[in-house]
Structure 1
């Protein structure tokens, strides 16, 4: 939790209203997302119990596993889930757009987006993908072809969820919590109903009262993937037992299944409504300018994976990353995190304020400017304007450091002097770039006297990737070259988790 978020939480309590901690939305919200709410059986490792999913608020699909410990029923659930999710995923692989550049290429003009209630939903998809992607479609313990394909796609989405700034798989509580601070703890914010009670309370109802009502599991059951213990004991266990005792009686089994479906629907339907409400709340925020670029990266990832699956004999993701693959992945995530942090700050003054508190940025008024200054010390005369910015912000910057302004990102500024004056600091800067090639700066390219401006060390400039050996050259100290991730006898009978 940052300093400003802590302050915003205190203000939320004082003012009895959630506080926005961003000025823009930093994530993409699709016009047609797939809402996916999984439930698992308590006490079992990733045993699917039910799921509600769909891409339209009025058309939820309910899938139920009447006996979650039954292997055949689990894979029947996986096959049906696969047909629904893959139908949605494939619907975006139709329309392409050309990406301009030195090497022209094509990518899909849109991509699927899956919304789950909380990080537990991401964990379910990760484990469920691992449990299904290596299953065999032939021989003993064979499964329908859609099952391992579903596993590959779930693994793809789960891996993209770890990628900073990606929006292909979003936990709703995380997306909302990144934009609002409430007057309750982070643990309470993990409850989707309580979180939305603060952000979007009913008209005329205090968020305190709304959040208290949201903690009632009778009206707002847990958003999964685990169910409420009281529901398990009083309604779920008897319904499952009743279904199990109807073997050989089709009519009784049909009635027992209907009862079980009604019970599970009652647990999932409130969360289904909350998910679409949360998506609408997020859509009301103006997206940041860099959101479109990050969504383009997501579309690239989706396009590349579709092409990979359509290639010759594509292998499923390995059970575990090899040494080289793990190092490459960690490098990508670190670079993506740095770029995402920078982009959010450049998009959003409230995020930049955290860098100002840390002394890595400052905001102030231009008190002096020399827009026509020429540097003729070299072989060629260059336009090098100088400005002085007066600020109250605490600074941990040094003379000679380079900074830039979110308002003029193509322009570099070098700190020439730091002069304390009566509680202020005058920062003298020399500017270069972003002014054209002539010796006269275009209007507006140089900050004018009286202008309020921000400068920081934050930059989302391209960072080259690290140097790693080829997978085939993995040294023996790290296990040597890994074997291809082919399905084996062990995978066919592996425990579900």
Structure 2
């Protein structure tokens, strides 16, 4: 945690309310996000129990698995989940932009124009916390290789047709969520923690209700007291007033309410099968048992709705808080990268390419790592340029300095054929950067990319002199407006303002055997073992 973040947490403890960490919103928010609150069964890692989702805060849709151990009910749940999610994903591709480009003709070497279609929008899933995103990743892993009745060898338990497609999309969205700055799938707790600091630990911030309690504590209560009430307050039945924000459930809820409700459903289903076997499906006893089974399902739906609704409302409250912040200047650039990611995966699915492999080959893994490192650098730089509070963190860390220009001395480099402007700029600053002589610095917020070199440092007077080396045009005299005037406030960073490209990597088929060799044919194909057996 940065020094500024620590100070903000201490201030939140003192004031009893969440304190801002940003002046702008650093993540894109869609006009029509899909809020998704999953719930997992406690008996098995990644086993789905329910999901509450929708784009309308007043009309959520619930899908449940009455008996999580029943394979057929799981597939029915996933099919219903897919029927809700996939149309939303497709609706984001209804409009496209035509992007012009060029590439070299392999025969003539001349540039020829090319055109690509880019989706005008992309989907955005909002989940309560990172645990919910991990649950979706497990669902994607467990379903994207499922065989269906349309496959040549459907196996003993064919899944509905849309289930493997659901798995491929969940895998793509959760993988993309690991890219810094991406906004296709966002945990609400992480969004709030990026923009506000609470007076509790980062682990406690994973409870969305407790985190929001620091933003809007009830009258007469501090944020800590309100968060404690949200975390541990129980009703007369011994149940939490504010259940956890998914995908886990409260053990006392599992024991006292959920397990008996599933037991009643199992008993009703057993009675229905017995009545149908003994008296026939149309007998009065079978119809009565059918009604009992339907009532048991409705009781389960009501019970799970009661558990999920508080978190559903919390996610929307979080969105309301985030929309009070103005969007950062570089958000459209990062959202365009998300749109390209969405468009590319949609094209791969439409082209009939196989699902994502269970394990990446060496080159693909290296490319993913390089991309995430590059995007982390780009996001950090853009946030610092967009937000004075983010830049203040870099200044406190000695990675930037800001101050007033006290002197501008014209100078030229005459070593070449024509003189080039190299003026000396002196800045008075209260910051203490790691300003070594000869170190390259970069002007933030200038009209163009402008590099400079530190030539003198006077720590007693707080003066730093730099020689500006670029961003002044191609003439002998600097272009008007390219240099700050005396008395103007400027900021220089000791880090580059653009991320460097990583070294090129070989194609997967050219991977040397020392790094795993070419990917095997069996690596990308599903195994015969059932993941849920």
TM-score class, shorter-chain normalisation, is over 0.9
Partners of 1:66 and 1:50 lie apart in 2 by: 9
Written as runs of structure 1 = structure 2, the 5 A alignment for 1:27-66 is 27-66=27-66
Q: State the SS of the aligned residue for 1:395.
A: coil
Partners of 1:449 and 1:194 lie apart in 2 by: 50
* Deviation, structure 1 residue 316: 0.2
* Deviation, structure 1 residue 413: 3.4
* Paired residues, number: 492
Contact 1:416 1:430 in 2 (8 A): yes
Is 1:473 the counterpart of 2:489? The answer is no
Partners of 1:326 and 1:413 lie apart in 2 by: 34
Q: CA offsets, 1:329-368, max 9 Å, x none? A: 1111111111111111122222222222222211121111
Is 1:271 the counterpart of 2:311? The answer is yes
Partners of 2:468 and 2:301 lie apart in 1 by: 67
Q: CA offsets, 1:303-323, max 9 Å, x none? A: 111111111x31100011112
Partner of 1:435: 472
Give the TM-score taking structure 1 as reference length.
Answer: 0.94
Contact 2:381 2:498 in 1 (8 A): no
Is 1:111 the counterpart of 2:117? The answer is no
Partners of 1:178 and 1:409 lie apart in 2 by: 29
Written as runs of structure 1 = structure 2, the 5 A alignment for 1:130-145 is 130-138=141-149, 139-140=154-155, 141-145=157-161
Q: Which runs of 5+ in 1 are unaligned?
A: none
Q: Which runs of 5+ in 2 are unaligned?
A: 103-113, 235-239, 273-288
Written as runs of structure 1 = structure 2, the 5 A alignment for 1:400-439 is 400-408=438-446, 410-422=448-460, 424-439=461-476
Q: State the SS of the aligned residue for 2:50.
A: strand
* Deviation, structure 1 residue 488: 4.1
Q: Which of 176, 187, 209 does residue 225 from structure 2 map onto? A: 209
Contact 2:453 2:468 in 1 (8 A): no
* Deviation, structure 1 residue 44: 1.1
Partner of 2:283: none
Contact 2:330 2:386 in 1 (8 A): yes
Q: CA offsets, 1:27-81, max 9 Å, x none? A: 1111111111110111212111111000111110000100001111111111111
Give the TM-score taking structure 2 as reference length.
Answer: 0.88
Q: CA offsets, 1:440-464, max 9 Å, x none? A: 4444321111222211123342422
Q: Which of 214, 219, 222 does residue 244 from structure 2 map onto? A: 222
Report the CA distance shift for 1:452/1:261 in structure 2 as closer, same or farther (over 3 A).
same
Q: State the SS of the aligned residue for 1:490.
A: coil
Report the CA distance shift for 1:456/1:24 in structure 2 as closer, same or farther (over 3 A).
same
Instruction: Choose 452-461 or 31-40, whichever is displaced more.
Output: 452-461
Contact 1:134 1:486 in 2 (8 A): no
Q: Which of 482, 488, 493 does residue 456 from structure 1 map onto? A: 493
Q: State the SS of the aligned residue for 1:245.
A: helix
Report the CA distance shift for 1:488/1:358 in structure 2 as closer, same or farther (over 3 A).
closer
Q: State the SS of the aligned residue for 2:528.
A: helix
Contact 2:119 2:339 in 1 (8 A): yes
Is 1:315 the counterpart of 2:354? The answer is yes
Q: State the SS of the aligned residue for 2:45.
A: coil
Contact 2:64 2:77 in 1 (8 A): yes
Q: State the SS of the aligned residue for 2:365.
A: helix
Partners of 2:345 and 2:371 lie apart in 1 by: 17
Contact 1:22 1:350 in 2 (8 A): yes
Partners of 1:213 and 1:494 lie apart in 2 by: 40
Contact 1:193 1:220 in 2 (8 A): yes
Contact 1:39 1:227 in 2 (8 A): yes
Aligned-pair RMSD on alpha carbons?
Answer: 1.9
Q: CA offsets, 1:368-389, max 9 Å, x none? A: 113x544444211223332101
Partners of 2:131 and 2:336 lie apart in 1 by: 26
